[in-house]
C-alpha cells in the first residue's frame, strides 16, 4: 500500500462526558479516513483523550477522587464513542499512557537542547476552562475573549521562545498555502502572528497533575505541550526511525474545532520546528454547533447527548445529519425539526425510496435476480456515466475537506436516478417491453451499487445493508473494485428491506 494518510481528531478533555461537539469532530474525521481507505491509501486514524492539566485536576477534586481514578473512568466514555458512532479509528491514545509520557518528555528535551526553553517567572492571567494564558490586553470585561473566567497566576515557570518563531512561522505559512483550511482561517492566524508573539509559559508549578518536566520534579508540563505531542506519540516518537513515524510524519491532517486553531496553527508548528521536526501537512478547523439557536454550554444545561440521539434516530441518520446540515468549516444550528426533516426528506424519501422501489420491483417482477441488460440507450449511458464521474468530483471535495459538498454531489445522483425511474417507468415496460425493462432495472441496480460505495464513508451501516440487498459481500470496499467490476447478471437478491424508517409527525 502507498500514499499514506494520517488523520487525527483533537484529543478530548476528560473533565466531562462526551457531547455533540466531540462526536462531530470524530465523525467528520471518520468520513475522511474511510474515504481514504477506499482509495487504497495506507490510513492511520487517531483519536483519544487529553487527561492532564488543572481543569481535569479540578474536576477530580470536585468529586473527591484522585485524578488517575477519575480519568480512567471518564476516558471510557470517550472510548465507547468508537462502537457507538461506528468510528474506524486505528488507535485511541490517552495522554496518561507511559508511551506518551516518554514522548512528551523527549519533545521537551529536544526543544531544550536546541536552546528554545529557559526558566523564569510567570505573572499573568490564566483561564482554566481554556487551559490558556491570556495577555491583559486580550481580556474583555475581565474575562478571557472566549468568556472563560481568568485567574491571576504567579509562579516559577519554564518558557518557550515563541517570539523567535514569528518569522519562521510566517515564512512557513507563505510556503505552504494549504497548511490551514478553510482559507479564511489562515488569514486570521497570519494576522495574529504578524501582530507579534510573546514567549510562552510552558510549565506549571502550583499543581501536580501533568507530565513531569525532565530533571525538575517541581514542574509539570503546560497541558498543551503535552497534548499536542500526542500526534507524534502515536507514531512511536521519539523513535524517529520507527516505521509509522517515517511513513506518516509529516503527512498529517489534523481536524480541529475553530476554538483550538491557535494552539495547532501557531504553537504546534513552532514546537516542532524547535525540536527540529517538520510541521504537519494540514489543519482544518470546523465550526461550532448551537442548540436550537443557543450557544451550547454546561451552565445553560443544553448540551446535546450523542448517545440519546443515536438511540432515538440511528447512528447513520445522525452521521448524515451532522455532516450534511452545515458546510464543514462554518457554524450551524442543531434542531430536532431540522434533523427529522432531513431524515424524512433526504434519507427516507430520496434515498430510501429509490432503493426500495427498485429492489422490491426486481424482487417481485424479475424473479429476485439481477436482470440481463440488452442494448443501452442514451439515457441509460448518461446515468451510468454520471455515476462514474461522481468519483473525481468526490476526490476534489475530499482534498479540500468539503464534506457537505461530497454528500450534495451524491444526492444529485440520487435525484437523477429517481427521475430516471419516473421517466422509464419499468412497471409499464413489464407488459410492453420486458427486454427494455430488464435493461432499465439493471442500470438502476448498478446505480444503487455505486451509491452503496459512495455513501460508505458517511453511512457505513446503510452502505453494508444496501450491498447485501444487492447480493454483494465485498468488504473492505475500495473504489478500484467499484470501477473495475459490475453487478453479475443472474445473481439472486434477498428479500428487500427498507433502509430508513420515516419519523412520524405525531410527536409534539
Ligand atoms: N483537549 C483539547 C484538544 C487538544 S488537541 C491536541 C480540547 N478538548 S475539548 O474536549 O474541549 O474539545 C474538543 C473538540 O470539540 C474541539 O475541536 C472543539 O472545537 C469541539 N467542540 C466542542 N464544542 C463544540 C460545539 N458546540 N460544536 C462543534 N464542536 C465543538 O479542546
DSSP letters spanning 346-398: IIIIIIIHHHHHHHHHHHHHSTTBPPPP-SPPHHHHHHHHHHHHHHHHHHHHH
CB count, 10 Å around CB of 389?
11
Q: Ligand 1: which of 11, 19, 22, 327 to mutate, most ligand atoms within 8 Å of CB?
A: 22
Q: Is the CB of 306 under 6 A from ligand 1?
A: no
Q: Ligand 1: which of 7, 8, 9, 10 to mutate, most ligand atoms within 8 Å of CB?
A: 10
**Which residue is associated with the grid cell 487517531?**
46
Q: Is the CB of 56 under 6 A from ligand 1?
A: no
Q: Is the CB of 220 under 6 A from ligand 1?
A: no
How many Å lie between the centroid of ligand 1 and the Cα of residue 472?
A: 39
Upstream peptide bond of 238 is cis (omega within 30 degrees of 0)? yes
How many Å lie between the centroid of ligand 1 and the Cα of residue 480?
A: 35
Q: Is the CB of 224 under 6 A from ligand 1?
A: no
How many Å lie between the centroid of ligand 1 and the Cα of residue 56?
A: 15
C-alpha separations of 374 from 90, 380, 427, 440, 490 in Å: 45, 11, 18, 9, 14
Q: Is the CB of 288 under 6 A from ligand 1?
A: yes
Q: What pLDDT, on the 0 to 100 scale, is given for residue 296?
A: 87
How many Å lie between the centroid of ligand 1 and the Cα of residue 373?
A: 51
129-133 long-range contacts, CB within 8 A, separation 24+: 129/55, 131/53, 131/54, 131/55, 131/222, 131/223, 131/224, 132/224, 132/263, 133/200, 133/201
Say if residues 10 and 257 touch (Cβ distance below 8 Å): yes
The DSSP output letter for 42 is: E
What's the rounded Cα separation, in Å, for the pair 371 and 438?
5
For 67-123, what is each residue's pLDDT tens digit?
999 999 999 999 999 999 999 999 999 999 999 999 999 999 999 999 999 999 999
Q: Nearest C-alpha to atom 6 of ligand 1 is from which residue?
A: 228
Relative to the CA of 264, which ligand 1 atom is closest? 6
Q: Ligand 1: which of 7, 8, 12 to mutate, most ligand atoms within 8 Å of CB?
A: 12
Q: Nearest C-alpha to atom 17 of ligand 1 is from which residue?
A: 257
Q: Is the CB of 289 under 6 A from ligand 1?
A: yes
State mean pLDDT over 380-384. 98
For 440-476, what is each residue's pLDDT tens digit?
999 999 999 999 999 999 999 999 999 999 999 877 8
What percentage of the chain exceeds 70 in pLDDT? Answer: 99
Q: Ligand 1: which of 19, 21, 55 to mutate, most ligand atoms within 8 Å of CB?
A: 21
Q: What's the order of all strands across the beta sheet hosting 216-221? A: 203-204, 216-221, 212-213
State mean pLDDT over 488-499. 96
Query: Quick check: 284 pLDDT over 90?
Result: yes
DSSP-derived 3-state class of residue 214: coil
For 338-381, what is each residue's pLDDT tens digit?
999 999 999 999 999 999 999 999 999 999 999 999 999 999 99
This prediction's pTM: 0.97
69-77 long-range contacts, CB within 8 A, separation 24+: 70/14, 71/14, 71/96, 74/14, 74/15, 74/16, 74/17, 74/49, 75/14, 75/49, 75/51, 77/17, 77/18
pLDDT band, residue 301 (cuts 50/70/90): confident
How many Å lie between the centroid of ligand 1 and the Cα of residue 119?
A: 31
Query: Quick check: 507 pLDDT over 70?
Result: no
- Helix 434-455 crosses helix 378-399 at what angle (to 10 degrees)? 0
Q: Is the CB of 256 under 6 A from ligand 1?
A: yes
DSSP-derived 3-state class of residue 178: coil
pLDDT band, residue 506 (cuts 50/70/90): low
Q: What pLDDT, on the 0 to 100 scale, is given for residue 508?
A: 43
How many Å lie between the centroid of ligand 1 and the Cα of residue 475?
A: 32
Q: What pLDDT, on the 0 to 100 scale, is given for residue 297?
A: 82
Relative to the CA of 10, which ligand 1 atom is closest? 5
State mean pLDDT over 286-293. 94
Say if residues 210 and 58 touch (Cβ distance below 8 Å): no
What's the rounded Cα separation, in Å, for the pair 281 and 269?
10
Q: Is the CB of 10 under 6 A from ligand 1?
A: yes
Between these two residues, 437 and 2, which has the higher pLDDT value?
437
DSSP-derived 3-state class of residue 77: helix
For 222-280, what is each residue's pLDDT tens digit?
999 999 999 999 999 999 999 999 999 999 999 999 999 999 999 999 999 999 999 99
What's the rounded Cα separation, in Å, for the pair 50 and 227?
6
What is the torsion angle, in degrees rounded to the nearest 10, for the CA atoms of residue 308, residue 314, residue 317 and residue 323? 50
In 3D space, the residue among 355, 283, 347 whose CA is nearest the CA of residue 319 turns out to be 347
Q: Ligand 1: which of 25, 26, 132 to mutate, most ligand atoms within 8 Å of CB?
A: 25
Helical (H) or strand (E) element with 188: helix 183-194
What's the rounded Cα separation, in Å, for the pair 115 and 103?
19
Q: Is the CB of 261 under 6 A from ligand 1?
A: no
Q: Nearest C-alpha to atom 23 of ligand 1 is from which residue?
A: 21
Upstream peptide bond of 461 is cis (omega within 30 degrees of 0)? no
How many Å lie between the centroid of ligand 1 and the Cα of residue 254?
A: 13
State mean pLDDT over 22-45. 98
How many Å lie between the centroid of ligand 1 and the Cα of residue 46?
A: 15
Q: What are phi and psi of 33, to 5 degrees?
A: -65, -45
Q: Is the CB of 25 under 6 A from ligand 1?
A: yes
State mean pLDDT over 191-199. 96
What's the rounded Cα separation, in Å, for the pair 320 and 343?
9
Within the chain, what is the greatest distance between any pair of CA atoms? 89
Q: What pLDDT, on the 0 to 100 scale, is given for residue 358?
A: 98
Q: Nearest C-alpha to atom 29 of ligand 1 is from which residue?
A: 21
For 412-439, what is each residue's pLDDT tens digit?
999 999 999 999 999 999 999 999 999 9
Say if residues 146 and 259 touch (Cβ distance below 8 Å): yes
Q: Is the CB of 280 under 6 A from ligand 1?
A: no
Q: Is the CB of 283 under 6 A from ligand 1?
A: no
Q: Is the CB of 21 under 6 A from ligand 1?
A: yes
Sequence-ordered list of residues with C-beta below 8 angstroms from that of 392, at least 6 positions apart, any chain: none
Amino acid at each position: 500500500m502507498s500514499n499514506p494518510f494520517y488523520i487525527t481528531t483533537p484529543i478530548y478533555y476528560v473533565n466531562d462526558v462526551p457531547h455533540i461537539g466531540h462526536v462531530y469532530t470524530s465523525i467528520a474525521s471518520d468520513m475522511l479516513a474511510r474515504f481514504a481507505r477506499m482509495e487504497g491509501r495506507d490510513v492511520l486514524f487517531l483519536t483519544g483523550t487529553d487527561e492532564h492539566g488543572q481543569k481535569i485536576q479540578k474536576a477530580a477534586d470536585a468529586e473527591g477522587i484522585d485524578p488517575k481514578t477519575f480519568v480512567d473512568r471518564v476516558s471510557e466514555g470517550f472510548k465507547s464513542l468508537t462502537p457507538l458512532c461506528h468510528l474506524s479509528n486505528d488507535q485511541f491514545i490517552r495522554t496518561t499512557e507511559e508511551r506518551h509520557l516518554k514522548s512528551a518528555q523527549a519533545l521537551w528535551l529536544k526543544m531544550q537542547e536546541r536552546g528554545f526553553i529557559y526558566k523564569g517567572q510567570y505573572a499573568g492571567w490564566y483561564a482554566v476552562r481554556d487551559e490558556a494564558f491570556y495577555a491583559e490586553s486580550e481580556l474583555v470585561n475581565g474575562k478571557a475573549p472566549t468568556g472563560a473566567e481568568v485567574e491571576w497566576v504567579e509562579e516559577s515557570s519554564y518558557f518557550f521562545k515563541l517570539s523567535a518563531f514569528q518569522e519562521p512561522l510566517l515564512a512557513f505559512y507563505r510556503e505552504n498555502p494549504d497548511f490551514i483550511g478553510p482559507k479564511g482561517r489562515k488569514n486570521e492566524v497570519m494576522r495574529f502572528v504578524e501582530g507579534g508573539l510573546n514567549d510562552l509559559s510552558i510549565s506549571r508549578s502550583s499543581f501536580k497533575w501533568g507530565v513531569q518536566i525532565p530533571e525538575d520534579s517541581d514542574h509539570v508540563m503546560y497541558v498543551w505541550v503535552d497534548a499536542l505531542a500526542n500526534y507524534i506519540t502515536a507514531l512511536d516518537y521519539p523513535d524517529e526511525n520507527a516505521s509509522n513515524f517515517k511513513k506518516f510524519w509529516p503527512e498529517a491532517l489534523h481536524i480541529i474545532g475553530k476554538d483550538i486553531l491557535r494552539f495547532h496553527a501557531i504553537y504546534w508548528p513552532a514546537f516542532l520546528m524547535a525540536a527540529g521536526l517538520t510541521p504537519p501537512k494540514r489543519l482544518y478547523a470546523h465550526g461550532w454547533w448551537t442548540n436550537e439557536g443557543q450557544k451550547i454550554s454546561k451552565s445553560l444545561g443544553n448540551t446535546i447527548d450523542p448517545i440519546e440521539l443515536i438511540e432515538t434516530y440511528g447512528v447513520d441518520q445522525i452521521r448524515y445529519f451532522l455532516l450534511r446540515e452545515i458546510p464543514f468549516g462554518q457554524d450551524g444550528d442543531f434542531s430536532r425539526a431540522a434533523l427529522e426533516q432531513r431524515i424524512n426528506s433526504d434519507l427516507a424519501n430520496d434515498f430510501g425510496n429509490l432503493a426500495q422501489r427498485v429492489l422490491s420491483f426486481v424482487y417481485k417482477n424479475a424473479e429476485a435476480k439481477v436482470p440481463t441488460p440488452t442494448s443501452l440507450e442514451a439515457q441509460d449511458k448518461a446515468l451510468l456515466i454520471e455515476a462514474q464521474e461522481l468519483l473525481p468530483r468526490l476526490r476534489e471535495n475530499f482534498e479540500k475537506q468539503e464534506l457537505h459538498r461530497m454528500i450534495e454531489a451524491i444526492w444529485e445522483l440520487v435525484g437523477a436516478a429517481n427521475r430516471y425511474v419516473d421517466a422509464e417507468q419499468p412497471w409499464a415496460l413489464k407488459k410492453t417491453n420486458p427486454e427494455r425493462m430488464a435493461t432499465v432495472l439493471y442500470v438502476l441496480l448498478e446505480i444503487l451499487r455505486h451509491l452503496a460505495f459512495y455513501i460508505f464513508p458517511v453511512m457505513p451501516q446503510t452502505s453494508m445493508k444496501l450491498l447485501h440487498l444487492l447480493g454483494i459481500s465485498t468488504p473492505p470496499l475500495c473504489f478500484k473494485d467499484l470501477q473495475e467490476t459490475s453487478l453479475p447478471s443472474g445473481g439472486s437478491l434477498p428479500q428487500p428491506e427498507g433502509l430508513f424508517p420515516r419519523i412520524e409527525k405525531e410527536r409534539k
